[in-house]
Structure 1
């Protein structure tokens, strides 16, 4: 059997402000992130290690995040726009976008434009979601089963779309090219 040490026997890594700065730089180089997510990452690293610096660990985390913002490696407004755009293109609705930006620690000031853009693209995102999941006009056959329709409505709701929008898309029968073209035209899709 291989030599395995008990996890309690392992020595914790030593961490100081300089190493914390290196960790932050590597993190922002690898991931698009917000200030709050970077602070969560850094505070987790502090908790998992032995802090050997004379200063306060949380103050060092905040100082590193401030430095990353000054160097323009962090920009919450740009992150919000990027994240909301990606989620909308995946077919997720405004409620889901708003919730994810909240979880990512983006303030309402920084997320306002991104959420407004997601609201403008709500119909296009819902149509994309229906196309991907083969609901409504993209289904192989009409969904006459009320239980199936309820499951489809629930899927729209979980994706963050309004129920009115879901009903509107599910009301279009499969193969109804005129109604689908009208929806596409309203959503400004090609």
Structure 2
């Protein structure tokens, strides 16, 4: 059994160090950084019988400092994450949901989605190739798995027509388009 954790009272210096340490490892949005620090303060306050509300102003100051110094950039994060997920074959709908969950503000999300020039069919083909659906599957099992592959593509956020075109397409047709 792991040893019991010993918490120290949250100070601006400790929280700033925690924020920098987190941002060294992960790209983050302003809202996500606030959530991470909030959790850290909450755990310490629970262990030390303190009120987490007393540290709200301190959290605001630290997050603002991180934004001001450029360690946190919501637009840069959204653009980077969108491009990364698109290369992996994610649908626009799924990417939008993930960015919303990370706390990207709606106006930045709209900007990033409007700047997208990639094709949904290309992303669907990449997704199918990665998951070995449709034309990328074992030819002996392709017909048997058609319905399941279509359902998986739709759950991944692709519309039915795009999913059908990929699942019923052939490898040469799809790889020439991507």
TM-score tier after normalising by the smaller chain length: 0.7 to 0.9
Following superposition, the deviation at residue 180 of structure 1 comes to 3.4
> Could you tell me which residue of structure 2 aligns to residue 19 of structure 1?
14
How far 1:158 sits from its partner (Å)?
A: 2.5
Q: Aligned partners of 1:32 and 1:119: how far apart in 2? A: 24
* Match of residue 35 from structure 1: 30
Instruction: Report which stretch shifted further, 124-133 or 97-106.
Output: 124-133
Q: Deviations over 1:56-114 (max 9, x none)?
A: 31111111111111101111011001111111111111111010011001012112232
Between Structure 1 and Structure 2, which shows a larger proportion of helix residues?
Answer: 2
> Is the Cα contact below 8 Å between 1:35 and 1:76 reproduced in 2?
yes
Alignment partner, residue 139 of structure 2: 141
SS in 2 for 1:73: coil
Structural RMSD (CA): 2.4
Give the Cα separation in 2 of the matches to 1:63 and 1:121: 41
Aligned residue number for residue 93 of structure 1: 91
Q: Give the alignment of 1:145-156 within 5 angstroms.
A: 145=144, 148-156=145-153
Number of positions where the alignment pairs a residue of Structure 1 with one of Structure 2? 172
Unaligned runs of 5+ in 2: none
Q: Paired residue for 2:165?
A: 168
> Are 1:93 and 1:118, in contact at CA under 8 Å, matched by a contact in 2?
no
Match of 1:108 among 106, 109, 113: 106
Cα contact 2:30–2:74 (8 A) shared by 1: yes
- Once the two structures are TM-superposed, the CA of residue 35 in structure 1 deviates from its matched residue by 0.5
1:167 to partner: Cα distance = 0.7
In structure 1, stretches of 5+ residues that fail to align are: none
Distance between the aligned counterparts of 2:117 and 2:152, measured in 1?
19
* TM-score (norm: length of structure 1): 0.80
The match for 2:125 is 127
Q: Secondary structure at the match of 2:94?
A: helix
Shift >4 Å, 4+ stretches? none
Name the TM-score, length of structure 2 as normaliser.
0.85
Rg larger for:
1
